[in-house]
Structure 1
Amino acid sequence: MRRTLPSLMALQCFDAAVRHLSFTRAAEELALTQSAVSRQIRALEDFIGRPLFERVKQRLVLTSAGEGYAAAIRDVLDRAEAATLQLMAHGGQGGVLRLAVLPTFGSRWLIPRLGDFARRHPEVELELVTQVRPFDFDKEAVDAAIHFGPALWPGATCHRLMGETIVPVCAPALLPGGALPDARALADFTLLQHTTRPQAWSEWLHAAGVAGVDGMKGPRFEQIYMVIQAAIAGLGVAVLPTFLVDEELADGRLAVAVDAPLHSQHAYYLVHPATKSDLAPVRAFRDWLLAQVGA
């Protein structure tokens, strides 16, 4: 079935005109005449059936329809350009892998291991961005993501990487007598909260059989790294994955407050759209990462 699409030249002219709010400057950028750009914009408006620009006191401004269309077209053109440049640079072999990672997992676990991936796959260029919550792959220029939670991501394939064990930790100065003898003593401490895991304390307290302690109360931090730093600073007790604070526990910056580890019901996953399963960069990174975790 034939797609309902205007010409690429019309979209390029529209995008340039949006950025400059001038047909003349758009024409200069595209090496066209001003009248050619004007004709392309008029043809695009005729195709869509509504105006995209209007003149207000001799100034070119977008209509409300034009504003929404401009954002969508900019994204389409950016993706098309990126795909074209990638194919030109790599000829379909390797290429760029844009990976969304959890910030603390990325900095503490993944990045120290990436040297091995680079040596094994010099044809793949990694581009890491941070995301702390699930997102829509159709709306983000991302090829894959590392996600913590259940193995649920609509329209995507999830590969389990590892589970985690969480334990309450804090600055040693808060524990002059050593680890607390009983988890109920946490009622006297500030509980540090991680905003993207709001149930972490409640789940740990329930597993420990502790009642009467509000697991939702306490200062909140968006990233695990911030929670770790708050715990080191003595702001309270945090329940954290042991593998992310091994270094702090070993060098004494943190201490276990209650020796009652809990195996999380969730896990870390490599997630990617099912449609990208056979892309060379995704396949190379997936196979390498699964080998790293022994999956």
Structure 2
Amino acid sequence: MSGRQGYDVVVDVDAEGDLGHTDLNDDLEFHNSTFDTNPTRGGPKVAPDQPSTFGAPPSSSSKRYLWSITFYQQFFALDSAALLLRCRSALYPRANFLDVLDGNPDLYGPFWIATTVIVILFMTGTISQYLAETGKGHFAYDFRLLSGAAGLVYGYTLFIPLGLWGVLRWFGSEGANLLECWALYGYGNLIWIPVALVSWSPLTALNYAFVAVGFGLSATFLIRNLYPIISATDAKISRILLIVVLVLHAGLAIAIKILFFAHGSPAAKDGTQLPDPIGDGNKDAGSVVRMLLRV
């Protein structure tokens, strides 16, 4: 066979003619597959970057969690270092305060700042009244100053941000967050602590200057941080809201000056001791002050 090529194959066969152990079934074991088993069964899946809702816990099986203390503890869980950082950023703003909050607004700082402002307003307002009535007979403390300060500061810090948040949500601002609004206004009150500490002097012009500085700094703080949120609405609406924010804040500053640091006001038994701030000879503001204090 000249056209064929042959191959020689050598096979080693044992004496019994067995080619090797080929019974594989004796060495194999089969198990049920676990590929379809959920390793996290029994526990909830948590997305690490899932946005949080308004203070709601990750999972709540109870419909009454709003009435539990643990629900509100998360808004007061703030260490001293974070509190000092936020206070410093409110007094010396170098960055947007909402960036400092970093998506974790608190109510601990706003509550104690507002409470401190109330106590200091009562103390310095009493000192201002005492200096105005020195030599005019027995001096009596007027605790309406304390209740007036509490109503003014707590009411402003609670209801103005709430109303602003509601209006922003009504006009479609998705960036509005109620807790951030409360935190922003709460930390914005910090400037009134040093203002109240130095505004007890009998020098009316100096007191007006101190209050004006406090108003300017706190208003700048509010507008700077609220503008990105308010500007998300219609241009006309945003301008109106900015003006309303400034007017309401100016009302707070004027109320602080007139109610607590005007000579003889608001504890004066008559309105004759009030200064004439606009120089038109009208000193009937005492009746207005007394009316406000009765509310």
Q: Which has the higher contact order (CA 8 A, sep 6+)?
A: 1
Q: So what's the TM-score if we normalise by structure 2?
A: 0.22
Q: Answer 1 or 2: which has greater strand percent.
A: 1
Q: Answer 1 or 2: which has greater helix percent.
A: 2
